[in-house]
Amino acid sequence: MKSDDDGMRRETMRNGRRLILKSGLAAAGGLAAAGMGRQARAADIVPSAPPADNPWSDRIGAGVTVPPYGKPSKFEAGVIRRNVPWLTANTQTSVTMAPLQSQNGIITPNGLFFVRDHAGSVMDIDPAQHRLMIHGLVDRPLLFDVEDIKRFPSVARIHFIECPANGATEWGGAQLNSVQFTHGMASCAEWTGVPLRVLFEQTGLKANAKWILAEGADGAHMTRSVPLEKALDDCLVVYAQNGEMLRPEQGYPLRLLVPGWQGNVQVKWLRRLKVGDEPWYTREETSKYTELMGDGKARAFTWQIFAKSVITSPAPENPLTKGPGKYEVRGLAWSGAGRVSHVDISYDGGISWVRARLQDPVLPKCFTRFTAEWAWDGKPALIQSRAVDESGYVQPTIAELRKLRGVNPVYNNNSIQTWQVKPDGSVFNVQLA
């Protein structure tokens, strides 16, 4: 058993740290100057005895099988996927955003991973009846069931997926005062599956094979064209996410994973791969998911996700509630081109920048967590993050993107996010001209 003295020492340390954080003296170098006087004042407020037990310490908890599938504490009930009702005509063709402002680390839990559907989530696919067909310009058309796929040598990789409409509402100006609503159409997970090239080794490929058509089993029969070169490089047919089988809303029992490319290409409920010699120019790659340019022309097949970042704290959902003092700035960065090379942070709206720390692991085509220490003086601030990836690409401002694309695009907004910190610690979404 722990002694009363041990409890008092822990409480003293906690109270001392609270004083340091509140005063901001550590950031200003004043802690050393304050010396023992500061320590004495911390000791003065320590009670003479350990605090009394709370009610939860006076009873026995539930057994280990309650509940049989684990879930978060009831005090985290607000950390959920959310949608913006006016974005789409109905929820079956809509999206729910991940609460990135509450994410710790680079892995998004399965229950919080964002969802984008075009005909509703397919909730009742029987894996014993599901099939994946590979045909077209192949030597041996084949039909695989799920157990066939799971027999092949598997790999596990951590990659993000981002809907290209992430941040679409912000093209015309700052609208949604929320990390979740401005950046929550992105999530990151560990995926387990079979490299697509392994399956094509079974079917063989004709000499003129250049493209594949991926088709889903949803009511929209979502179809997208993917260059064969990409398919043979790093694409996977996945059946598991974060250590468990895919959730229905994530494509159970099979989905295509196309690392670093737009989420729309990563077809869920995968039922068919057709090999051809040219793209199919489906609805989703003609009238949708194209890149509108400033001259009014649309550019198709803009698959890659460019370097992007967002500060998740401080943010509208995570204000500075403790007043002036020392805070840890936290955020996420990602790039479809590979690894994030570095992230810079500005506290004055981009006039000056300081280098953030990248937390391990730093993986290609994956969320990267960054942090920085900030001694906030209680004055207004304009805080930004800017990601640079290993290709040398630098995350642009919204003004730079508008010069190229105008103000009417929908997709591929990877601009620098600006949060305005007010003297009371509240945080708001703003844009700088």
Of 263, 278, 299, which marks where a domain is finished?
299
Q: What is the CATH number of the domain that holds 380?
A: 2.60.40.650
Per residue in 180-204, pLDDT (tens digit) is 999 999 999 999 999 999 999 999 9
Quickly state the pLDDT bin for 32 (edges 50, 70, 90). very low
342 & 411 share domain:
yes
Domain contains 179: yes
**Count: domains in the chain:** 3
Distance CA 85, CA 243 (A): 32
Q: Which residues pair with 293 in a beta bridge?
A: none
Give whole-number Cα distances, 17 to 5, 50, 241, 323, in Å: 19, 18, 39, 15
More confident residue, 404 or 419: 419
Above 60 in pLDDT, residue 295? yes
What pLDDT is recorded for position 298? 87
| pLDDT mean over 38-46 | 51
- In whole angstroms, what is the distance from residue 169 CA to residue 40 CA? 53
Q: Is the same domain home to 342 and 265?
A: no
pLDDT tens per residue across span 349-405? 999 999 999 999 999 999 999 999 999 999 999 999 999 999 999 999 999 999 998
CA distances from 268 to 115, 188, 278 (A): 11, 16, 22
Domain co-membership, 295 together with 312: no
Based on the domain organization, do 259 and 389 belong to the same domain? no
Whether residue 365 is found in the same domain as residue 267: no
168 belongs to a structural domain: yes
Locus of tokens 């030597």:
139
Q: Is residue 66 part of a domain?
A: no
76 located within any domain: no
3-state secondary structure of 316: coil
Is 68 within the bounds of a domain?
A: no
Same domain assignment for residues 239 and 338: no
Q: Do 283 and 375 fall into the same domain?
A: no
**Residues 324 and 418 reside in one and the same domain:** yes
CATH classification at residue 253: 3.90.420.10
Edge-first strand listing for the sheet containing 211-216: 142-145, 131-136, 270-276, 211-216, 223-227
Shared domain for 255 and 361, answered yes or no, is no
- pTM, to two decimals: 0.88
Per-residue pLDDT of 126-146, as tens digits, reads: 999 999 999 999 999 999 999
Residues in the chain: 433
Residue 328 forms beta bridges with which residues?
Answer: 373
- Does one domain contain both 124 and 221? yes
Residues 224 and 126 in one domain: yes
Q: How far is CA 187 from CA 62, 113, 234, 295, in A?
A: 33, 6, 19, 32
In a domain, 67, yes or no: no
For residue 47, the model assigns a pLDDT of 78
In a domain, residue 69? The reply is no
> Does 283 lie in the same domain as 231?
yes
Residue numbers of the domain that contains 11: 4-47
Is residue 222 within 8 A of residue 284, CB to CB? The reply is yes
Pairing mode of beta strands 95-96, 115-116: antiparallel
Q: Judge whether 54 lies within some domain.
A: no
